[in-house]
Amino acid sequence: MQIFFTKYEGCGNDFIIIDDRKHIFPEKKEFIVKISDRHFGIGADGVLLLRDHDTLDFEMVYYNSDGSEATFCGNGGRCIVSFAKSLGIIGTETRFLAADGIHSATVSEKNQHICEVKLEMSNPVIYSQDEHSCYLNTGTWHYVEFVKKIEDVNVREDGRILRYQERFSPHGSNINFVEFSNNSIKVRTYEKGVEDETLACGTGVTASAIAVSLINGHTQFEVRTEGGLLAVQFKRDNLSFTEVYLTGPATKVFEGQLNIG
C-alpha cells in the first residue's frame, strides 16, 4: 500500500507531512524513524499528520524524528497551515488543534511553493529566569542560555549535556543559545527528539524572544536562525505574555509516495 507525502521546510526545519484524514498512517515508532532517516528514508526533523476535527479546520499530530510523540512545533505548525491551504481545507485564515491546544494562523502565498504564515503561539509559562538564562514553556519546554559569541558554541555537545540535566526531568528540555542586541536575536537550538542541532526551532525562537524581553522589555524581534529569519511579536504586561505570534516562510520542497507494506 502507498500513501502520499509532502516535504516542507520552515527556515530549514523540515517535515514529512501527510494528509491522514482517513487514518491510514502506521503510527509505529520504527516506521517514523525509518522515513525520517536522511540516508535510508525521506529525511526530516519530524513527521506531521493532518486529521479532521469536529469543530476546527483540522488537527495536527506531530512526531519527532526519533519516533516520540511531541508536544507542539512552531515551524511544523506553520508548515501544516501552508499544507492545509494547498489542499483547499482552509483559505487565508485557520484555527486548528495541536497537542498544546488551539492555534490560529493567517497565510499568504508568495509563490506556488512558498507561503508566509503568521501563527499564534501558546501563552508562555515562565518557570525561572535571571540575567544569564531562562526556563519556560512555549508549547514545549525550553531552556535559554545567553552567550556573547554564538558561533563559538558547540551546540551538539553543550546542548546534549544541558538537555539531560536532572532539573529538566522527566520530560527533558530543548536548549537554546542566544546572542542578542536590542530587538535583534541570533538563536541556535539543540532539539530533543531530534537529539541534535536543528536549523531552526519555532518554539525555541519564541522562547528566546520572550527570554530577551524579560531583560530589555522589547516586544517585537527579528530572529536569525541557522536556516533563516523569523519574526516574533507579542503583548506584555509584566510577566504575562499574550497574543504571541511567530511569522516566517513555509516552503514546499517536494512530494512523493511512501510504501507502507
Provide the CATH topology of domain 125-246. Answer: Diaminopimelate Epimerase; Chain A, domain 1 (3.10.310)
What is the residue extent of each domain of the chain? Answer: 2-119+249-259, 125-246
DSSP secondary structure letters along 159-199: HHHHHT-GGGTTT--EEEEEEEETTEEEEEEEETTTTEEES
* pLDDT given at position 213: 98
| Active-site entry in 11, 73, 79, 134 | 73
- What predicted TM-score, i.e. pTM, was given to this entire model? 0.95
* pLDDT given at position 182: 87
Measured CA distances, 118 to 218, 224, 225, 228, 247 (Å): 19, 17, 17, 16, 4
* pLDDT given at position 120: 98
- Verify whether residue 79 is a known catalytic residue: no
Q: Which three cell numbers stand for residue 228?
A: 533563516
* pLDDT given at position 261: 67
- Report d(CA 112, CA 51) in Å as an integer: 23
The reply to whether domains 2-119+249-259 and 125-246 share a CATH topology is yes
Looking at the domain that runs over 2-119+249-259, which CATH code has it been given? Answer: 3.10.310.10
Low pLDDT (below 70) residues in the chain: 261
- Report d(CA 85, CA 108) in Å as an integer: 9
